[in-house]
Amino acid sequence: MADSIVGQETGRESSLSNWAGPYVTSMLGKGAALANEDYNAYTGPLTAGQSNLQNQAFQGIAGLTVPTEQMGNYQPQSFTQQGTAQQYMNPYINAALQPQLDELRRQTEKSRVEQAGRLTQAGAYGGSRQALADAELSRSMLSNMANVTGQGYNQAFQQAQQQFNTEQQQGQQSQNLANQFGLQALANQVQAGQLQRNIEQEGITADRLQFEEERDFPYKQVQYQQSLLQGLPIAAQSYSYAQPSALSDFLQGSGGVYDLLSNVFLPQKKETGFFDGAVDAVTGAASGAVDAVTGAASDAYDYVTGNDGDGG
């Protein structure tokens, strides 16, 4: 019977190859020295921050006075409201018309004198003809004065209406400009605030990344040491196996004899019985050989130890 432990692996040992040993040892030493060094932190600024021009712009934008109270819809007025027309008409209209009226009176009086002279020469002065002529002069003067006054007030009214419309348009435009300026000022303040926030966030992000780099530095050093050995065929392995004993070799040999006898004499086993005898003879011989080896080993042990074999 074969020994069940024969040929099984009993140990394994790995070591560096002879050609790679000195190099790997030197490399690991240098890597360990680098990995044990302290973190060399950057002490300079992490961000540029705000420039002087940006600070001035921020201060100017922050100082803008936003007309929020004046912003809104424009409420137009009506020219037909009571007193609006008089408010926009020329307050000196009467003074402007008076010279024209005086001139009409002077011209009328001049015409009356000339007319009286003609009537006197004709011998009709003081009669009904003179009365009709004077009445016509008075009517013409009053008509002219009315026309002058009407045209003057009509012109003053149109100018007042035009001035009113102009002021209404200017008021609407002024309201639009105030709204536009206010909204633009608010938009500029929002944009400047976002720019300030971005600059501040840039500094916070840089500080956080610096913290994470310092925190992860020891772990990266370990990974660095590990990476020094990746991909290098530097391992040499040796294996040891269980060897067969003398008894196992003999038993394996007797098993082979048994197989030989089985193949030769198995067909005649039932008729002659020779196979059984052969097997018994081989087995007896094997047992005798084993006993002989065992006895020889025991005698050798007694001889070496000085034992006389009686248990003393």
pLDDT at 300: 58
- Which among 185, 178, 288, 236 has a CA at the least distance from the CA of 16? 236
Q: Rounded mean pLDDT of 158-163?
A: 85
pLDDT at 292: 63
Residue 278 has pLDDT above 70, yes or no: no
The per-residue pLDDT for range 164-191, each reduced to its tens digit, is: 888 888 888 888 888 888 888 888 888 8
Per-residue CA distances from 104 to 109, 145, 240 (Å): 9, 7, 148
pLDDT at 124: 62
pLDDT at 270: 46
Place of tokens 């530095």: 217
CB neighbours of 116 closer than 8 A, spacing ≥ 6?
A: 125, 130
Q: Choose between 141 and 292: higher pLDDT.
A: 141
pLDDT at 70: 79
Report the C-alpha gap between 16 and 26 in whole angstroms: 13
DSSP classification of residue 49? -
Q: Rounded mean pLDDT of 193-202?
A: 89
Report the C-alpha gap between 209 and 203 in whole angstroms: 10
Residue 271 has pLDDT above 50, yes or no: no
The per-residue pLDDT for range 94-147, each reduced to its tens digit, is: 777 787 888 888 888 888 777 777 777 766 666 677 778 778 888 888 888 888
* Average model confidence (pLDDT) across the chain: 74
Q: Choose between 91 and 144: higher pLDDT.
A: 144
Per-residue CA distances from 253 to 4, 248, 281, 295 (Å): 16, 8, 15, 21
pLDDT at 188: 87
pLDDT at 86: 73
Per-residue CA distances from 277 to 72, 253, 265, 285, 290 (Å): 130, 19, 11, 12, 20
Report the C-alpha gap between 111 and 211 in whole angstroms: 111
pLDDT at 45: 81
Provide the 3-class DSSP secondary structure of residue 15.
strand
pLDDT at 36: 84
Would the pTM count as exceeding 0.75? no
54-63, 237-246, 301-310, range with the lowest pLDDT: 301-310
Report the C-alpha gap between 217 and 35 in whole angstroms: 9
The per-residue pLDDT for range 200-234, each reduced to its tens digit, is: 899 889 998 999 998 888 888 888 877 877 776 55
pLDDT at 77: 78
* Cα torsion through 57, 62, 67, 72, rounded to 10: 90
Residue 311 has pLDDT above 50, yes or no: no
